[in-house]
């Protein structure tokens, strides 16, 4: 009798239940208390947290907007300043270095091109007073205020020939163009009349700004309009004057005057300590006036000034 083979058929093992997480014995969420309904306190806390977050975002957004506006305004201001500065520099360079198409000599210039004669009708005065100055020179202004009014009276009476010797060296010292531009403007005023020149000269000194490197002492508005108005230049004369100034029609004369006067100051009237010439320098018949002898009363006492000028020149 053949032996019967044993089979693997038998009892099927019992299946154990498996949780939804795949891990026995743990609830589906894996967190204790899950599934409980939120309380009113929970809801209020969530709302408060959301409101705080929203408030913080609104504050941040406002700050970002303000910063963006500030940055934009700063950029615009810088661009405007740069554009204006570039335009000014280009204009000044073109006006002071570029030769105008037509140059003119001021109506009452001296033969050597060094000065403007304030009273050209006086041709036989015993005394010639030469005033070497720069419109940006503060000491020049001080001395002009001290004796200028009396000098003008002596010029009007014919006691002296009054001559203004232009210098523009302070442009280099102050890194601007105001000495040259004001000298051009004053000599353009001379093309109108001697009276206009003297009045313009006085107005320019009266409005002289404090010296500051890199800053213009005079604006084009002052030189074209303000001082011209103070000098009584109006109508067609104003049109003529402004055309002269705008085209820098006397720039060659001003350049030459500065060169001639600079050389004369160094050769004839040098500073004893430095050997260089400077402004202000007053010379009577070629002899240097001692400015320390100017008194406080000379601004109104023309006779006192005349006596000093005669003594300096050796004229009785």
Task: Provide the mean pLDDT of the chain.
Answer: 85
CB-based contact 228:241 (threshold 8 Å): yes
One digit per residue, the tens of pLDDT, for the chain of length 316 reads: 444 444 344 444 444 443 444 444 444 444 444 556 778 887 788 888 888 888 888 888 887 887 777 777 767 665 655 555 554 554 554 444 444 469 999 999 999 999 999 999 999 999 999 999 999 999 999 999 999 999 999 999 999 999 999 999 999 999 999 999 999 999 999 999 999 999 999 999 999 999 999 999 999 999 999 999 999 999 999 999 999 999 999 999 999 999 999 999 999 999 888 888 899 999 999 999 999 999 999 999 999 999 999 999 999 8
Pair of tokens at residue 121: 């009708």
CB-based contact 254:109 (threshold 8 Å): no
Dihedral of CA atoms 204, 207, 213, 219 in degrees, nearest 10, equals: -70
Of 242, 218, 222, the residue nearest 230 (C-alpha): 222
Residue labelled with tokens 């003297």 = 198
Give the CATH number of domain 115-313: 3.40.30.10
CB-based contact 315:285 (threshold 8 Å): yes
pLDDT digits (tens, 9 = 90+) for 91-139: 554 444 444 469 999 999 999 999 999 999 999 999 999 999 999 999 9
Of 150, 198, 153, the residue nearest 300 (C-alpha): 150
Give the DSSP letter of residue 39: P
Torsion region of 15: left, alpha or beta (phi above 0 gives left; psi -120 to 50 gives alpha): beta
pLDDT at 230: 98
pLDDT digits (tens, 9 = 90+) for 39-65: 888 778 888 888 888 888 888 888 788
- 3-state secondary structure (DSSP) of residue 161: strand
How is the chain split into domains, by residue range? 61-98, 115-313
Give the DSSP letter of residue 109: B
């Amino acid at each position: 009798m053949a032996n019967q083979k044993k089979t693997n058929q038998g009892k099927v093992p019992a299946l154990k239940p498996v949780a939804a997480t795949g891990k026995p014995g743990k609830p589906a969420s894996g967190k204790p208390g899950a599934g409980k309904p939120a309380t009113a306190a929970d809801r209020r806390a969530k709302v408060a947290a959301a409101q705080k977050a929203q408030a913080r975002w609104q504050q941040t957004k406002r700050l970002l907007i303000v910063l963006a506006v500030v940055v934009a305004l700063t950029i615009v201001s810088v661009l405007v300043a740069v554009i204006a500065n570039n335009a000014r520099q280009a204009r000044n360079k073109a006006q002071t270095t570029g030769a105008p198409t037509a140059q003119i000599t001021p109506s009452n210039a001296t033969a050597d091109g060094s000065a403007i004669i304030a009273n050209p009708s006086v041709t036989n005065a015993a005394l010639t007073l030469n005033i070497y100055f720069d419109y940006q020179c503060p000491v020049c202004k001080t001395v002009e205020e001290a004796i200028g009014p009396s000098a003008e009276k002596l010029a009007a009476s014919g006691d002296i020939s009054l001559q203004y010797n232009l210098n523009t060296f302070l442009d280099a010292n102050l890194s601007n163009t105001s000495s040259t531009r004001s000298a051009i403007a004053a000599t353009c005023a001379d093309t109108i009349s001697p009276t206009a020149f003297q009045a313009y000269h006085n107005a320019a000194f009266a409005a002289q700004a404090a010296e500051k490197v890199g800053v213009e002492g005079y604006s084009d508005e002052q030189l074209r309009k303000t001082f011209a108005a103070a000098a009584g230049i109006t109508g067609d004369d104003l049109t003529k004057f402004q055309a002269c100034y705008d085209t820098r029609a006397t720039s060659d004369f001003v350049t030459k005057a500065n060169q001639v006067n600079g050389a004369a100051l160094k050769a004839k009237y040098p500073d004893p300590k430095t050997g260089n010439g400077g402004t202000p320098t007053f010379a009577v018949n070629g002899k240097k006036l001692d400015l320390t002898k100017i008194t406080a009363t000379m601004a109104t006492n023309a006779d006192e000034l005349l006596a000093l000028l005669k003594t300096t020149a050796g004229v009785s």
